[in-house]
Structure 1
Amino acid sequence: MSGAIAALAIALGAWPLAAQQAPALPFALKAIGPGVYAAIDGPKGEAGSNAGFVIGDDGVLVVDSFYNEAATKALIGEIHRLTPLPIRYVVNTHYHIDHTGGDAVLREAGAIIVAHKNERGWVRTENAHLFGERVTPALQARIAALALPDVTTDAPLTIWLGQRKVEVQPVLGHTGGDLAVRVPDAHVLFAGDLLWRHVSPNIIDGNVAEWIATADAMATDAGVTSFVPGHGDVATAADVKDFAGYLRDLRALVAKERKAGLSGAALVTAALPEFKQKHGDWEAFGYFAPKELGFMDDELAGKKRRPVPVGE
C-alpha cells in the first residue's frame, strides 16, 4: 500500500493503524545489565518515581512499584513481554507512597512484598505527612488502604532467583527504614531515594549526616557501575559523588547561617542565594530547596520530626 493510499485509508477509518500502536509508557525502560532493567519516570512524572526489575532463572524481582497503579500495570506488561517467568517479589526501598503505591497490584500479579521492618508500621500512618495541607480525604483513604509488606527485615537479606543472587541491604539516611538492592553479577545497585540524580531531594524524614556517609560509601563501591536512583536518570559513581556534595553543601550552608544567629525563615532567605548558585540547575530545586534548608535547620537544632519505629 502506497503512502498516499495508506493516509487516505487511515483518514477514512478503513485501516486503523493508530489503534494498532501501543500507548506510550509512563516511564523509560532501560536495560542496564543482563536481565536487569531500570524503569525511569517520564518527563511528565506520570509514574511518580523510578522502579526496576531483575529477571532470574525462575522468576522476577521488582524494585519499587511507583505512585500510580496504571504505571505499575504497564510495568507488569513490560515484564511479561520480556519473560514468561512469574513475578515473585517486589522489594520496597522505603515506605513513601511514590515508591509503594502499586504494591497491591504487584501482589495481585503474584509478588511477595519485601520491605524494611519499619515500613510495616509507617506505610499507612506516615505517608499523609508528606503532603501536609495538600492531603485530601481521597488521598487519606488511599494511604489507609496501602498494601502492607509480607516479609520485613532490618538485616541483610539474600533473595535467590534460581542461581541468580540479589542482595537486600538496610541503609541509613533517607527515612530511617531504607533498603538498597544489589545485583552483584550485573554490578547494579537500586538505591531508591538514597540517591537523586541531578534532582533536589526530599529530606523531610532524613538524617543528612548519615545520608552523606551512605552516599560516600556508594560512590566508592567498586562492585557497582550502574546506580538506579529514586528520581532522575540511571547514575554513575560520579553522579553519586555529586549528590553527596549537594548534601554537604546543604548542611554546611545551614550550619554557617545558624552560627551567624539565624534560624527559621530568615535562615532560608539568607542561605538560598548561595545554595542556588551552587545547585540551582538541579531539577525541582525551586520547590525543594527552601524546604530542605528549613528541614536542615530543624535537624541541626534537634527538633526535626522523623518517623519513630513501631513495635511489632
Structure 2
Amino acid sequence: MMTLSNFIRGVLALSLSGGMYVATSVFAADIPPKLPFESKAIGPGIYAAIDSPRGTSGSNAGFVIGDDGVLVVDSFFDPEATRALVLEIRKLTTKPIRYVVNTHYHADHVGGDAVLRAAGAVIIAHRYVRGWIRTENLHLFGDHLTPQIRAMVTSLPLPDVVTDKDLTVWLGKRKILVRSVLGHTGGDLIVSVPDAKVVFCGDILWRHVAPNIIDGTVARWIDTVDALRHASDAAQTTFVPGHGDVATLEDVVKFDDYLADLRTTVLRERTAGLSGEALVKAALPGLAMRYGDWTAFGYFAPLELRYMDQELAGTKRTPAPVAD
C-alpha cells in the first residue's frame, strides 16, 4: 500500500534528483542559502511558493496580502520551510499573518501549521481535518510509522475554524473565497481570490505530476476539476496546484484528461476480466505513452491503477467522515 512516508520520500527524492548544491566559488560562504521554495508573484499582493527542485518543502503553498493582514494557503511538510515562508512574507509586509487555510489533512501540506500559529495565524480547514490530521496521517505512514513520526503527527495543531461549506474571509476590502470540494481526500478546500482571478487548488490539481490518489475518489475528483475547467473566467485564471509549477487552464484540462484516462483505462481492463497486478501490467504501457514524461509517473502510476481498480470494485479504503 502507498504510504505517506513513501510519498514524502518520493517527493523529496525527486526534489533532490538534480543533485546537491555544490558551491564552486571561493566566496560561497558569502552567498545566502537558497530558499526551499520559489516565490512567484502571481497577482497584486499574491504569491505562490512553489516547492523547489532542490528544496524540502514537500508541496506548494502561497499567500495573499490584503488591506489589514495576510492569509496563507498550506504550510509545507518541513517547518523550516515554513519559517522561511514567514520571513519572505515579512520582507513584503508588516501586516499580521491572520489565517492559514489547510487545503487538506496530508502532512506535506500541514507540517508547518505550528509555525504559522506561532506567527499569529488562525488555522482554517475542512471539518473532517480536525478528526483526521492526527489519525489518518498515522495510517498513511503504515509500516514506516516510528515513535518519532508518531510524535510528530500527534503534535500537529488542530484547526481552529472548520467548515464543510463555502466560507468568505475578508482581509479589509479584499475578499477571499474558501470552497469545500470533493475528490482528493473527502475533506478538501480550495481558495480563490476573485479580484485577481487566482485559485489555490491544493492537491485537487497537479501540474505535470502524477497524483497521489491514496484517499481519492476519482469520479468525484473529475467532477471538481471539470468545474474548474468550465468556469466562466477559467481562461483568465491563474491556478496554483498542490504539486508542480503555477498552472493555466491548459494545465487544468490536461489533468482533467489524466484522471479521465486513468478511469477509462482501468474500466476497460476490468471489462476484459483483468484485476490486480495483471491489470496494472496491461494498462501501464498505454498510460505511459500519453503521460510517461510527467514527474513521478513511474512511481505513482502503478499505485494509481491499483487504487482505481479498487474504487471501481467498491473495495477502496477512504477516510471515514468524522463528526465535530
| TM-score bin, normalised by smaller chain | over 0.9
1:237 aligns with 2:249: yes
1:65 CA drift (Å) = 0.1
Extract structure 1 runs of 4+ deviating beyond 2 A. 17-22, 128-137
1:45 CA drift (Å) = 4.5
The equivalent residue for 2:3 is: none
Q: How does 1:150-161 map to 2 (within 5 A)?
A: 150-161=160-171
Contact 1:184–1:223 under 8 Å retained in 2: no
Q: TM-score, normalised by structure 1?
A: 0.93
1:277 aligns with 2:251: no
Partner Cα separation in structure 2 for residue 276 and residue 45 of structure 1: 27
5+ residue gaps in structure 2? 1-24
1:311 CA drift (Å) = 1.7
1:52 partner letter: G
Structure of greater Rg = 1
The equivalent residue for 2:279 is: 267
The equivalent residue for 1:52 is: 62
1:59-93 CA-partner distances (Å, limit 9, x unpaired) = 00000000000000000000000001010000000
Partner Cα separation in structure 2 for residue 254 and residue 294 of structure 1: 9
1:86 partner letter: P
2:166 partner letter: P
Partner Cα separation in structure 1 for residue 112 and residue 264 of structure 2: 37
The equivalent residue for 1:7 is: none
The equivalent residue for 1:186 is: 196
The equivalent residue for 1:309 is: 321
Contact 1:180–1:192 under 8 Å retained in 2: yes
Partner Cα separation in structure 2 for residue 228 and residue 112 of structure 1: 22
Partner Cα separation in structure 2 for residue 172 and residue 23 of structure 1: 39
Partner Cα separation in structure 1 for residue 194 and residue 107 of structure 2: 28
SS of alignment partner, residue 287 of structure 1: helix
Partner Cα separation in structure 2 for residue 295 and residue 147 of structure 1: 30
1:23 CA drift (Å) = 1.4
1:220 aligns with 2:208: no
1:80 aligns with 2:90: yes
Partner Cα separation in structure 2 for residue 87 and residue 22 of structure 1: 25
1:19 CA drift (Å) = 4.8
Partner Cα separation in structure 1 for residue 257 and residue 141 of structure 2: 27
1:139 CA drift (Å) = 1.1
Partner Cα separation in structure 1 for residue 244 and residue 86 of structure 2: 21
Match of 1:205 among 211, 215, 222: 215
Q: TM-score, normalised by structure 2?
A: 0.90
The equivalent residue for 1:137 is: 147
Partner Cα separation in structure 2 for residue 244 and residue 64 of structure 1: 23
Partner Cα separation in structure 1 for residue 254 and residue 144 of structure 2: 31
1:201 partner letter: P
Match of 1:252 among 256, 259, 264: 264
The equivalent residue for 2:102 is: 92
SS of alignment partner, residue 222 of structure 1: coil
1:150-171 CA-partner distances (Å, limit 9, x unpaired) = 0000111000001100000001
1:18 CA drift (Å) = 4.8
1:22 CA drift (Å) = 2.5
1:298 aligns with 2:310: yes
The equivalent residue for 2:76 is: 66
1:130 CA drift (Å) = 2.5
1:267 partner letter: L
Partner Cα separation in structure 1 for residue 135 and residue 29 of structure 2: 43
Q: How many residues align?
A: 298
Q: How does 1:93-132 map to 2 (within 5 A)?
A: 93-132=103-142
SS of alignment partner, residue 323 of structure 2: coil
The equivalent residue for 2:21 is: none
5+ residue gaps in structure 1? 1-9, 12-16
Q: Point out which structure has higher relative CO (alpha carbons under 8 A, 6+ apart).
A: 2
1:237-277 CA-partner distances (Å, limit 9, x unpaired) = 11000000000110011001111111111111111111111
1:179 partner letter: L
Match of 1:176 among 172, 186, 189: 186
Identity of aligned residues (%): 65
1:20 CA drift (Å) = 4.8
